[in-house]
Amino acid sequence: MLHRLLLTVLTGLFFLPILSLAATVHEYLPVDHPYKQIIPTPESSLGFEIGERHPRHDQLLNYINVLANSSDRIKLTTIGQTQELRQQVLLTISSKSNLNNLDSILAKRKTNNKLEDSAQPLVIWLGYSVHGDEISGANAAMVVAYHLAASESAEVQQMLENTIIVIEPSINPDGMDKFVQWVNTHRGSTINADPNHIEHHQGWLTGRTNHFGFDLNRDWLLLSQKESQHRLAYYHQYQPHVLGDFHEMGANGSYFFQPGIPTRTHPLTSRKNTELTQLLATYHAKALDNDNRLYYSQENFDDFYYGKGSTYPDINGGVGILFEQASSRGLQQESDNGLLTFEFGIQNHVLTSLSTIEGAWKNKNTLIKYQQNFYKESEKLADKEEFSGYLLHEKHDKYRLNALLDKLKQHQIQVFPLEEDFRLDGVVYAKSDSFYIPLDQRQYRVIKALFSQQTKFQDNTFYDVSGWTMPLAMDIDFFEVGRTWGLKLAKTPWQVATKIASNIQSEEQAYAYAFEWHHFLSPKLLNKLLNSGIKAKVATKPFSARLATDKGTETKQFSRGSVIIPAGIQTVKNWRNILLKNSEDIDIPLNLLNTGLTIKGIDIGSGSFRLLKPVKVLLVGGKGVSQYESAEVLFYLDDTLSIPVTVVEQQRLANIDISTYSHIVMVDGKYSSLGKNAAQKVDAWLKGGGVIFGQKRGAKWLSKFEMLAMNFVSKGELEQLFDTDNLQYQDKEKLAGRKRIAGAIFESQLDISHPLAYGYTDNKLPLFRNSTLIMQHTSKPFLSLANYSAEPLLSGYADQNMVNRIAHTSAIVAHNRGRGRVIASSDNLTFRGYWLGSAKLLANSLFFSKAFSTPVTD
Ligand SMILES: [Zn+2]
């Protein structure tokens, strides 16, 4: 079938002066297809044709609303709101009678997956533009929605009788508008297809990510962002058989659809899944062949990491398919394949959206049977395992534990509280701190995907991370349980936890209050108190004290890092009310001390309690600096801990007064704008008492300008780790894969007596590593607070030579520089917002940086 649009493009290119290549909605759709006149077209609502301009999210939303109001085949659902208050919507498209009974249809599927094939509707989910600057998808979504709402063909009507199509037209509304604002701002009155034009090159923060700078197409499994959380509830309600995920890639590409690279599919994804993906691929190929459009599959992209839209369905009974369109980015761009227009990309995504629907519809029974068998097969796989389930245990920090339980619940995994304490391998796990996850449940594969610690792989090249073991990232102990003898579980699974009620009344006149540092949000409380002018001190040595409680008195041990608020030194009016209110809001229990004399260890007036100071943090940002790592630091400090952070682009750093800041944070990035002069300025500030935290190439910059007393392993030395004799040219890509660490988990030994490690109770701390930056081993005492273990690889792929080279080296170091402090990490401590285990080291670097002193002399 030849599309009218192609003709328009060709004639436009060669024979006519180009005014606009935009097209009415019908030009994107099959020729001579009957449409209901009454259904409004996108152009009638937008005021311009699809492909003529980049529509804003509100314009898209407006059309979707108009369309839904005019059609009884569409149910519009608002599933949530983004950080910038944009609506996240889903369109459910089906026959009128199906929509009238939608709730019961979905409920029936959920409770009875053994329904006869013919009684089951097919569910197809199409998600567009999760990367907001890959916007051809969101435009294709409007065309596809119009087609399904307006088509009068008998075939479409028959299909809708038995199919539920879910369209998420713009998965990332905040990112979409960030991008559209850029393109529309820089677009000229005349079309400019020059790839060098600013229209095609966004600034430091691109529309790819959401408001917080997170890649939502890595977040399906991690759920650190609200967009993903909102969507997942609906995803599991609909249980789609097929999910299409529509993206863009570089301008010189053509068009990609899955299957991806066969050797790089995760082993938990069944062979049948790949076969079905291949089957659907024949429909995409046919649609694109008809217009002589270039495409490819089984290259570049893989199906390994389950945090993406195209992979998450693969462990949830569906078939996920990635589509990648070469990006015109702006309106048009010259490319290797000729002039690439915005419309051309939109057209491709429309074609493959329709081929996905057609292919799935024609193979309806196969897909429904596949999903049913998928869950039966999961049961069998669980039976074959050598253990029955996982025991989770965390005694000190309920926040991290609950955060993990909450994520598991969102993935529909059942986790059970214990009725009695449980003994495993000679250790007794208290029922109050322990939970059990049986493998024998519907979501067996998701459990395995979250808990797996695979380190050996068929193919050693990865498109994304190779290790993401969630309890390691969140630093929650977990154990495989073989025999469940003696394990008594609660009847109902874990539900969202309620707050711990504070038992302290405001009128009580305590001598001092104390709270422990184990809780993940204790830095949030401390920051709030310090900013309110309340004076607090940190215990650098342990103590035991008698506490006043509503039941009388009890003795409690406080470890290093506990924070005390002595009444005798407060100057702020109402300080007790501020303290009590904030501890209750943040849900951190306060302990009440009626005397300065402790039972054991330091007394409250001791000099071993160090006065803490409010912090003022500057994050060096700007072009060149990793937008992901700076976003992750901001998300943790600003959003999670409510600590404001001033972001200054590296280009501006030399021009501002930095003397008022207590801390500077530098994440990974190229700091080419920070030369010798900037370094001297930072160093003078540092020697005068400032504290700098450098991560990855941020740390390397500090080393280069001799503020950090550590050297990094040279690239030359790393090269020599790999034997390249006898390699052929065809091995080039493989060698590059071996030399990289795409994302794996390593074990470090943490010195928990070091002030920067306050709050940690376990000296083994997993760290996330996605670079080959390695600090040399140091023999200077007290400098290194975390060293890699002797056999450090815990999860994911890293070449054994690389692993051996990393073993025993320093992961995190800290030392004095004049009156200031330098803290450096070779790893990303706040990766993707779910690395709650190592994140606290960053907060400790803010509050406890003057609680240690490690002078270094050369
Ligand atoms: Zn993308």
Mean pLDDT confidence for 239-253: 97
Output the pLDDT for position 10: 38
Residue 549's beta-bridge partner residues? 552
**From CA 314, how far away is CA 382, in angstroms rounded?**
17
Question: 734 CA distance to ligand 1 centroid (A)?
Answer: 24
Of the pLDDT bands very low, low, confident and very high (cuts 50, 70, 90), residue 764 is: very high
Output the pLDDT for position 395: 95
Question: 690 with 663: CB under 8 angstroms?
Answer: yes
Nearest CA to 355 out of 311, 406, 289 is that of 289
Output the pLDDT for position 263: 86
Tell me which of 713 and 4 has the higher pLDDT.
713
Question: 452 CA distance to ligand 1 centroid (A)?
Answer: 26
Question: 245 CA distance to ligand 1 centroid (A)?
Answer: 9
Q: What is the pLDDT of residues 556-568, one digit of tens each?
A: 999 999 999 999 9
Output the pLDDT for position 23: 74
Whether the per-residue pLDDT at 770 is higher than 90: the answer is yes
Mean pLDDT confidence for 429-450: 97
Mean pLDDT confidence for 717-731: 92
Of the pLDDT bands very low, low, confident and very high (cuts 50, 70, 90), residue 115 is: low
Question: 375 CA distance to ligand 1 centroid (A)?
Answer: 30
Mean pLDDT confidence for 474-487: 95
Read off φ and ψ for residue 536, nearest 5 degrees. -135, 150
**3-state SS assignment for residue 805:** helix
Mean pLDDT confidence for 358-368: 97
Mean pLDDT confidence for 236-242: 97
Question: 153 CA distance to ligand 1 centroid (A)?
Answer: 33
Whether the per-residue pLDDT at 591 is higher than 50: the answer is yes
Question: 146 CA distance to ligand 1 centroid (A)?
Answer: 24
Going across the sheet that includes 810-817, the strands are 645-649, 617-621, 663-666, 691-695, 820-825, 810-817, 784-795, 744-750, 764-769
Output the pLDDT for position 86: 98
**3-state SS assignment for residue 128:** strand
**From CA 51, how far away is CA 136, in angstroms rounded?**
8
DSSP state of 326: E
Of the pLDDT bands very low, low, confident and very high (cuts 50, 70, 90), residue 5 is: very low
Tell me which residue has tokens 């039976």.
383
Output the pLDDT for position 584: 95
Question: Which of the residue ranges 18-32, 236-250, 273-287, 376-390 would you say has the lowest mean pLDDT?
Answer: 18-32
**From CA 856, how far away is CA 271, in angstroms rounded?**
57
Q: Output the six-digit token pair for 426.
A: 């000679």
Mean pLDDT confidence for 260-280: 93
Question: 672 CA distance to ligand 1 centroid (A)?
Answer: 28
Q: What is the pLDDT of residues 180-234, one digit of tens each?
A: 999 999 999 999 999 999 999 999 999 999 999 999 999 999 999 999 999 999 9
List strand residue ranges (DSSP E) for 43-200, in order.
74-81, 87-93, 122-128, 163-168
Question: 303 CA distance to ligand 1 centroid (A)?
Answer: 14
Tell me which of 1 and 462 has the higher pLDDT.
462
Output the pLDDT for position 17: 36
Distances (CA, A) of 775 to 329, 462, 742, 856: 39, 24, 18, 16
Of the pLDDT bands very low, low, confident and very high (cuts 50, 70, 90), residue 14 is: very low
The one-letter amino acid at 264: R
H, E, C per residue of 492-546: CCCCCCCCCCCCCCCCCCCCEEEECCCCCCHHHHHHHHHHCCCCCEEECCCEEEE
Question: 714 CA distance to ligand 1 centroid (A)?
Answer: 33
Question: 62 CA distance to ligand 1 centroid (A)?
Answer: 24
Distances (CA, A) of 297 to 82, 151, 255, 280, 322: 34, 31, 8, 12, 10
Question: 595 with 566: CB under 8 angstroms?
Answer: no
**From CA 489, how far away is CA 429, in angstroms rounded?**
13
Whether the per-residue pLDDT at 379 is higher than 70: the answer is yes
Residue 616's beta-bridge partner residues? none
- The kind and range of the H/E element at 556 are strand 552-558
Output the pLDDT for position 114: 60
Q: Output the six-digit token pair for 3.
A: 């599309």
**Can you say whether the dihedral through the CA atoms of 287, 291, 297, 301 is positive or negative?**
negative
Whether the per-residue pLDDT at 689 is higher than 70: the answer is yes
Whether the per-residue pLDDT at 337 is higher than 80: the answer is yes
Of the pLDDT bands very low, low, confident and very high (cuts 50, 70, 90), residue 20 is: very low
Question: 558 CA distance to ligand 1 centroid (A)?
Answer: 49
Nearest CA to 450 out of 427, 476, 429 is that of 476
Question: 763 CA distance to ligand 1 centroid (A)?
Answer: 39
Question: 4 CA distance to ligand 1 centroid (A)?
Answer: 28
Query: Which ranges in 363-493 belong to alpha helices (H)?
Result: 364-384, 398-410, 444-451, 470-473
Question: 260 CA distance to ligand 1 centroid (A)?
Answer: 15
Residue 786's beta-bridge partner residues? 750, 812
Q: Is the pTM of this model over 0.85?
A: yes
Nearest CA to 559 out of 547, 542, 583 is that of 542
Question: 232 CA distance to ligand 1 centroid (A)?
Answer: 19
Output the pLDDT for position 639: 98
**From CA 186, how far away is CA 189, in angstroms rounded?**
10
Give me the torsion for CA of 389, 395, 396, 400, rounded to 10°.
20
Question: 53 CA distance to ligand 1 centroid (A)?
Answer: 20
Whether the per-residue pLDDT at 858 is higher than 60: the answer is no
Omega cis (within 30) before 259: yes
Would you tell me the crossing angle of helices 271-289 and 364-384 to the nearest 10 degrees?
150
Output the pLDDT for position 505: 59
Q: Output the six-digit token pair for 82.
A: 């983004």
How far is Cα of residue 744 from the mean position of the Cα atoms in its chain? Answer: 15
Share of the chain above pLDDT 70, in %: 95
Question: 645 CA distance to ligand 1 centroid (A)?
Answer: 29
**From CA 847, how far away is CA 82, in angstroms rounded?**
31
Output the pLDDT for position 502: 57
Question: 326 CA distance to ligand 1 centroid (A)?
Answer: 11
Q: Output the six-digit token pair for 17.
A: 């002066």
**From CA 650, how far away is CA 223, in angstroms rounded?**
31
Question: Which of the residue ranges 453-467, 536-550, 611-625, 628-642 would you say has the lowest mean pLDDT?
Answer: 453-467
Question: 359 with 283: CB under 8 angstroms?
Answer: yes
Question: 252 with 297: CB under 8 angstroms?
Answer: no
Share of the chain above pLDDT 90, in %: 89
Whether the per-residue pLDDT at 9 is higher than 90: the answer is no
Whether the per-residue pLDDT at 113 is higher than 60: the answer is no
Question: 165 CA distance to ligand 1 centroid (A)?
Answer: 22
- The kind and range of the H/E element at 564 are strand 563-566
Question: 392 with 437: CB under 8 angstroms?
Answer: yes
Question: 131 CA distance to ligand 1 centroid (A)?
Answer: 5
Distances (CA, A) of 330 to 107, 191, 192: 43, 10, 9
β 512-515/477-481 pair status: unpaired
Mean pLDDT confidence for 255-260: 95
Output the pLDDT for position 118: 62
Mean pLDDT confidence for 670-698: 97
Output the pLDDT for position 857: 74
Question: 302 CA distance to ligand 1 centroid (A)?
Answer: 13
CB environment 224-254: b (16+ within 10 A), e (fewer): bbbbbbbbbebbeebbbbbbbbbbbbebebb
Tell me which residue has tokens 């960030």.
178
Q: Output the six-digit token pair for 775.
A: 């600090």
H, E, C per residue of 695-764: ECHHHHHHHHCCCCCCCECCHHHHHCCCCCCCCCHHHHHHHHHHHCCCCEEEEEEECCCCHHHCCCCCCE
- The kind and range of the H/E element at 233 are helix 226-238
Of the pLDDT bands very low, low, confident and very high (cuts 50, 70, 90), residue 262 is: confident
Question: 60 CA distance to ligand 1 centroid (A)?
Answer: 19
Question: 676 CA distance to ligand 1 centroid (A)?
Answer: 38
**3-state SS assignment for residue 425:** coil
Question: 838 CA distance to ligand 1 centroid (A)?
Answer: 28
Of the pLDDT bands very low, low, confident and very high (cuts 50, 70, 90), residue 538 is: very high
β 434-438/389-393 pair status: antiparallel
Give me the torsion for CA of 622, 340, 190, 180, rounded to 10°.
-40
Mean pLDDT confidence for 462-477: 94
Question: 177 CA distance to ligand 1 centroid (A)?
Answer: 16
Question: 247 CA distance to ligand 1 centroid (A)?
Answer: 4
Whether the per-residue pLDDT at 11 is higher than 90: the answer is no
Mean pLDDT confidence for 776-798: 94
Question: 248 CA distance to ligand 1 centroid (A)?
Answer: 5
Whether the per-residue pLDDT at 2 is higher than 60: the answer is no
Question: 344 CA distance to ligand 1 centroid (A)?
Answer: 17
Q: What is the pLDDT of residues 505-529, one digit of tens each?
A: 555 689 999 999 999 999 999 999 9
Question: 246 CA distance to ligand 1 centroid (A)?
Answer: 7
Of the pLDDT bands very low, low, confident and very high (cuts 50, 70, 90), residue 294 is: very high
Distances (CA, A) of 462 to 301, 303, 740: 9, 9, 9
Mean pLDDT confidence for 468-476: 98
Question: 308 CA distance to ligand 1 centroid (A)?
Answer: 10
Question: Which of the residue ranges 342-346, 463-467, 703-707 would you say has the lowest mean pLDDT?
Answer: 463-467
Question: 400 with 476: CB under 8 angstroms?
Answer: yes
Mean pLDDT confidence for 452-474: 91
Output the pLDDT for position 250: 95
- Taking the CB of residue 396, how many other CB atoms lie within 10 A of it? 18
Output the pLDDT for position 460: 83
Whether the per-residue pLDDT at 840 is higher than 50: the answer is yes
Give the chain's mean pLDDT.
Answer: 93
**3-state SS assignment for residue 573:** coil
- Taking the CB of residue 19, how many other CB atoms lie within 10 A of it? 8
Q: What is the pLDDT of residues 647-681, one digit of tens each?
A: 999 999 999 999 999 999 999 999 999 999 999 99
**3-state SS assignment for residue 664:** strand
Give me the torsion for CA of 236, 93, 24, 2, rounded to 10°.
90
Q: Output the six-digit token pair for 843.
A: 């907060």
